[in-house]
Amino acid sequence: SLILAMLILISVAWPLQKAEWGEGLPPLILLILTGAALAFILNKRLPPILCHALAVALGAFIILILATLVTPGQGFLSRMINLFWEIGIWIYAVQSGEIQGGNIEFIILLLGLFWTMGYMTVWQVLRHHQWWATVLPAGMVLMLTLYNLPEDFYFYFAIYLALSFLLIAHITIGRRQEQWQKSYIPLSTPLRFFHLTFVLVFILVGVLIAWEIPSINAAPLSSAINRLGAPWSFVEYQFG
């Protein structure tokens, strides 16, 4: 489950990284894996509130360091000062209703988003065995990303869809088997065979859908993406 969840997030981050949004954008995949590793280490070792507080603090520190490194300046301290100055100017411009180009601010937004997704995905999978916490946020981010990318990038949506089918099937069947074991229902060979067949059919459907999407007229997908583009247009306006 964890591997599939990470692959889903990578399939979302990869087109964004490949499109080179944000000058000097740090590697989002590395940030996702770092947040995921933190959730894996903290899971069931500390109270949830303390885990989340540590994740927020460490995430903010890492994002601050990465944002400082991509900020123009002669040295690290100079870059950090310029970073806070840039953020202050951008906040003032937003409050004044002006359009202020915010490359650094946009990078910070992306870093915070993918850190949160990496951490919460592993937390939900390990702690609650939930697939929606991975599939739904990742799908929304991918659709909003594709809103401003050429149709050639729609192939990543096919990859995301296939991986999502696999994750849903894996978690759903794993839950069902746990329920049967708790109810002392023996897992006979025919029952195991039925489960295996169900998984294979589910995977086949996902792969077929993913295979056909690139060859289908992109207009329906484009229409769906455009309808989801309003929030992204607001982000574009705010960040220039």
For 140-176, write each residue's pLDDT tens digit. Answer: 888 888 877 777 777 888 888 888 888 887 777 766 6
At residue 227, the pLDDT reads 53
What percent of the chain has pLDDT above 90?
20
Q: What is the pLDDT of residues 64-93, one digit of tens each?
A: 999 999 888 888 899 898 889 888 887 777
Query: What is the residue-wise DSSP string for 75-144?
Result: SHHHHHHHHHHHHHHHHHHHHTT-----HHHHHHHHHHHHHHHHHHHHHHHHHH--SHHHHHHHHHHHHH
Contact 80, 70 (CB under 8 A): no
Question: What does the pLDDT read at residue 33?
Answer: 93
24-77 residue pLDDT tens? 788 899 999 999 999 999 887 788 899 999 999 999 999 999 999 988 888 889
As a whole number of angstroms, the distance between CA 56 and CA 64 comes to 12
- Is the pLDDT at 181 greater than 90? The verdict is no
State residue 53's pLDDT score: 94
Query: Where is pLDDT greater, at 170 or 232?
Result: 170
Copy the structure tokens of residue 86: 């840039």
How wide is the angle at C-alpha 76 spanned by C-alphas 73 and 81, nearest 5°?
Answer: 65
pTM summary value: 0.75
Question: Are the beta carbons of 161 and 206 closer than 8 angstroms?
Answer: yes
Q: Which two tokens stand for residue 209?
A: 């859908």
Q: What is the identity of the amino acid at 119?
A: Y
